[in-house]
Amino acid sequence: MATPDQKSPNVLLQNLCCRILGRSEADVAQQFQFAVRVIGSNFAPTVERDEFLVAEKIKKELIRQRREADAALFSELHRKLHSQGVLKNKWSILYLLLNLSEDPRKQANKVSSYASLFAQALPRDAHSTPYYYARPQTLPLNYQDRSTQATQSTGSLGSSGISSLGVCGLGGPTPVPQPLLPGQSHQAQGVGDGLRQQLGSRLAWTITANQPSSQTPTSKGFPNTLSRNMTRSRREGDLSGTMEVTEAALVRDILYVFQGIDGKNIKMSSTENCYKVEGKANLNKSLRDTAVRLAELGWLHNKIRKYADQRSLDRSFGLVGQSFCAALHQELKEYYRLLSVLHSQLQLEDDQGVNLGLESSLTLRRLLVWTYDPKIRLKTLAALVDHCQGRKGGELASAVHAYTKTGDPYMRSLVQHILSLVSHPVLSFLYRWIYDGELEDTYHEVAADLFTDLENAFQGKIDAAYFETSKYLLDVLNKKYSLLDHMQAMRRYLLLGQGDFIRHLMDLLKPELVRPATTLYQHNLTGILETAVRATNAQFDSPEILRRLDVRLLEVSPGDTGWDVFSLDYHVDGPIATVFTRECMSHYLRVFNFLWRAKRMEYILTDIRKGHMCNAKLLRNMPEFSGVLHQCHILASEMVHFIHQMQYYVTFEVLECSWDELWNRVQQAQDLDHIIAAHEAFLDAITSRCLLDSASRVLLNQLRAVFDQIIELQNVQDAIYRAALEELQRRLQFEERKKQREVEGQWGVTQVEEEEENRRVREFQDSIPKMCSQLRILTHFYQGVVQQFLVLLTTSSDESLRFLSFRLDFNEHYKAREPRLRVSLGTRGRRSSHT
């Protein structure tokens, strides 16, 4: 079995036909064509390609025939077959054998008894075979070949024009050969095209090269319904004379001309670029005219073919051009399909017509009618080809587009169909550009100016697309990632918006934070934080927010107390980090620091006030002390006023206003960029207004100095109170003892004791001036710092800061002392504009 391995499926098929029919190759042409058609149009198997499934089927069949022993034998054989790895498609041959198998119980009188047919091996005649038979290898028949050539069947109405006349329909997995009836509906499948095209042209050859002279009618199986359905016209030109060209001959010629092949009588005249009937032929004028009219089709075909073939070779033609050529090829294939129908019609008549003297159904007139629609199509295509000469890329697409502006709906649908194919590459190029941002123009098809045109044209679409995308993005960010909720949470926690929580936190932290910073532990503080959260309204926040809240300890410098290193923190991760960047978060923390300190001052002063109120009653009995206390009160009040104004400024003018603006912008934002910008603007505003930017460094330092004084006052006051209370305690004790003794009947107090007591009291009273002077110094210092601060404020460029200074000094208390402040507000405003 050496040589059969190299044979292609087509050769094999031919062998098969020869064997079955018991004829030589030359005589099985028709059946071979049929076989090729069937195989070609049903290349994909519909059964499961599973060897075991088929084997099971076989076994079942054998068992059904009550041949269990044979079923077992088959199992054994199958097992042996399976163990050998020679065959690739075992399922295939098994399936075939199953189909060919016969039930021995049935009588072998069936017509199609394969056994009788296949049992004979035929001698091979060595024949000189015509061109056609020598080259069947080129026809693609197997599944693998076909799948690599698979054309994208367009399925649109625009392309099935030519073949609408009808070809024999082959549908379904078990095709039934139908007679060649024009007029039957054709199932447009793109796959049989290449086959038919070649068949068509080769058929042409067989007609001329191999005139069947005395063929027995082999087509008994094909009912001749043509004689029934068609009216017959008398065969014209039925005259004697060998020079006379018959219509039949003309028809034959025309069928070649349709493909661009010169016929016997009708040849292409290159000088005049048209087909001409040879003058010397003795021909009826009407026939001649009709023939020439028909020949136009061939001319059109040549033109289109030439363009398509030339362009296919041009490697730099580009994707658009290639699509165009592909579309043209597709149209030409449809055209060839029609031609093959006509050819087979002709051959059919040749087979049966000669002996039975039937008249031909193919006349020139009929051809005229049948080729009318195709002619219009080819005309349109030829016009397109002309118009598109020398163009490529976007230009080509525009040229095709220009042709869609026609009133003829038939032509328009054709051109639109071609346009859609042609603009495919351009569209995919655009999509990639818009969605992926990549430009891939390997053949330089899309010119730059075309680009900008497109860009302008698509501006609206691009904007709309951007708008939609942004909206969606914002939606996702808000719903899934709660961007706005986190923003509000930052306001509440880092910017001290949640008042009750901050207050309670501070209460709880106070004892911890007075300790040195080095003794603080993070987990302690976190615990306190959680307690504060649970005890206030903060507990009603979503857990997502609360879990991000945390304590952060800043870097410890020597001498720091807890107050200096404590900070809240808010963890940010995921998509919201696009808005809350690291930088933003550091801004937030700085602002928090500032606000926290200011809040602490408020707290301290509250304590001081509390102290005043608690102790005032107690110390009423010490009249000498009242001076000191009075001074204390005054200083504390000044400080309270100052802090109060600062807080007001910070809370309302800085935070609330900026926040309001931010929130409005965020609500109206149409894309993420807006939000990010608004957020950054917000942070910038509050940073600068809280004196945290570099321009306000001096001011900030001054403010810190003020805060320091407040702390100092707290310390001083604590000391004073301690001393006073101690003294009070002692005096009370003394009195207590005196009373006790008197009750007991002794002298209330001895001389020594009394003197000691007096001495102590005198000591105390002497220390009072010291305290007074201490306070006075503090007051003086404090006022100096505040004045300085006010001066800086008035010269600041920020308007709201200037108004702050106005509020701080509303009764001009400081102005009286500080000459630099003695400038009217109007001048203030003007002066600052010069700095």
Cβ-based neighbours of 344, under 8 Å, separated by 6 or more: 180, 203
Among 148, 152, 173, 449, binds another protein (CB under 8 A): 173
Q: Which stretch binds another protein (CB under 8 A): 27-35, 290-298, 559-567, 806-814?
A: 27-35
CB of 17 to another protein, least distance (A): 6
Nearer to another protein, 176 or 743 (CB): 176
Q: Which stretch binds another protein (CB under 8 A): 14-22, 280-288, 369-377, 670-678?
A: 14-22
Nearest of 594, 803, 668 to residue 660 by alpha carbon: 668
Q: Count residues contacting another protein (CB under 8 A)?
A: 78
Nearer to another protein, 110 or 387 (CB): 110
Q: Which stretch binds another protein (CB under 8 A): 28-36, 334-342, 699-707, 723-731?
A: 28-36
Q: What is the dihedral of CA 745, 747, 748, 749, to 10 degrees?
A: -150
Dist. CA 541–CA 543, nearest whole Å: 6
CB of 124 to another protein, least distance (A): 11
Q: Which stretch binds another protein (CB under 8 A): 7-15, 324-332, 575-583, 759-767?
A: 7-15
Among 25, 29, 51, 74, binds another protein (CB under 8 A): 74
Beta bridge partners of 50: none
CB of 52 to another protein, least distance (A): 15
Q: What string of DSSP letters covers 141-193?
A: -SHHHHHHT-------GGG-SGGGG------SSS-------TTS-----GGGH
Where in 474-533 is the site for another protein (CB under 8 A)? none
Nearest of 544, 543, 533 to residue 505 by alpha carbon: 533
Q: Which stretch binds another protein (CB under 8 A): 10-18, 126-134, 204-212, 729-737?
A: 10-18
Nearer to another protein, 58 or 204 (CB): 58
Where in 111-140 is the site for another protein (CB under 8 A)? 111-119, 121
Beta bridge partners of 551: 568
Where in 82-111 is the site for another protein (CB under 8 A)? 84-89, 92-104, 111
Among 50, 52, 77, 273, binds another protein (CB under 8 A): 77
CB of 139 to another protein, least distance (A): 12
On whether the CB atoms of residues 200 and 343 are closer than 8 A, the answer is yes
Dist. CA 687–CA 671, nearest whole Å: 25
Where in 685-744 is the site for another protein (CB under 8 A)? none
Nearer to another protein, 218 or 651 (CB): 218
Where in 200-219 is the site for another protein (CB under 8 A)? 216-218
Nearer to another protein, 174 or 442 (CB): 174
Nearest of 266, 271, 334, 264 to residue 295 by alpha carbon: 266
CB of 66 to another protein, least distance (A): 14
Among 109, 220, 460, 819, binds another protein (CB under 8 A): 220
CB of 157 to another protein, least distance (A): 29
Where in 277-336 is the site for another protein (CB under 8 A)? none
Cβ-based neighbours of 284, under 8 Å, separated by 6 or more: 236, 237
On whether the CB atoms of residues 56 and 157 are closer than 8 A, the answer is no
* The two three-digit tokens of residue 201, written as one number: 């042209």
Nearest of 368, 364, 358 to residue 230 by alpha carbon: 358
Query: What residue has token string 């300190």?
Result: 597
Q: Which stretch binds another protein (CB under 8 A): 15-23, 628-636, 659-667, 778-786?
A: 15-23
Dist. CA 690–CA 789, nearest whole Å: 14
Nearer to another protein, 1 or 369 (CB): 1
CB of 37 to another protein, least distance (A): 9
CA distances from 366 to 30, 373, 378, 742 (A): 25, 13, 18, 153
On whether the CB atoms of residues 584 and 679 are closer than 8 A, the answer is yes
Nearer to another protein, 119 or 313 (CB): 119
CB of 361 to another protein, least distance (A): 24
**350 residue type, one letter:** D
Could you give the string, one character per residue 34-73, with x where binding to another protein holds by CB under 8 A and - elsewhere?
A: xx--xx--xxxxxx----------x---x-------x--x
Nearer to another protein, 124 or 820 (CB): 124
Nearer to another protein, 173 or 409 (CB): 173
SS3 786: helix
Cβ-based neighbours of 798, under 8 Å, separated by 6 or more: 688, 689
Among 26, 53, 81, 354, binds another protein (CB under 8 A): 81
Nearer to another protein, 114 or 648 (CB): 114
Q: Which stretch binds another protein (CB under 8 A): 9-17, 197-205, 385-393, 541-549?
A: 9-17
Nearer to another protein, 170 or 297 (CB): 170
CB of 95 to another protein, least distance (A): 4
Query: Half-sphere exposure of 291 toward its Cβ, with a 13 Å CA cutoff?
Result: 31
SS3 749: coil
Nearer to another protein, 20 or 676 (CB): 20
CB of 188 to another protein, least distance (A): 20
Where in 553-612 is the site for another protein (CB under 8 A)? none
CB of 31 to another protein, least distance (A): 6
Give 440: exposed, middle or buried? Use CB within 10 Å, 0-12, 13-18, 19+: exposed
CB of 343 to another protein, least distance (A): 21
CB of 117 to another protein, least distance (A): 6
Instruction: Report if residue 223 touches another protein, rule: CB under 8 A.
Output: no
SS3 561: strand
Q: Exposure string (b/e) for 411-436, b if CB count within 10 Å is 16 or more?
A: bbbbbbbbbbbbbbbbeebbeebeee
Dist. CA 280–CA 84, nearest whole Å: 71
DSSP class of residue 537 equals: G
Nearer to another protein, 88 or 234 (CB): 88
Nearest of 649, 560, 635 to residue 605 by alpha carbon: 635
CB of 73 to another protein, least distance (A): 6
Where in 135-164 is the site for another protein (CB under 8 A)? 141-145
Torsion sign, CA atoms 394, 396, 402, 406: negative
On whether the CB atoms of residues 229 and 192 are closer than 8 A, the answer is no
CB of 356 to another protein, least distance (A): 14
Nearer to another protein, 176 or 369 (CB): 176
Nearest of 301, 303, 272 to residue 388 by alpha carbon: 303
Q: What string of DSSP letters covers 755-781?
A: HHHHHHHHHHHHHHHHHHHHHHHHHHH
* The two three-digit tokens of residue 568, written as one number: 């809240």
**38 residue type, one letter:** V
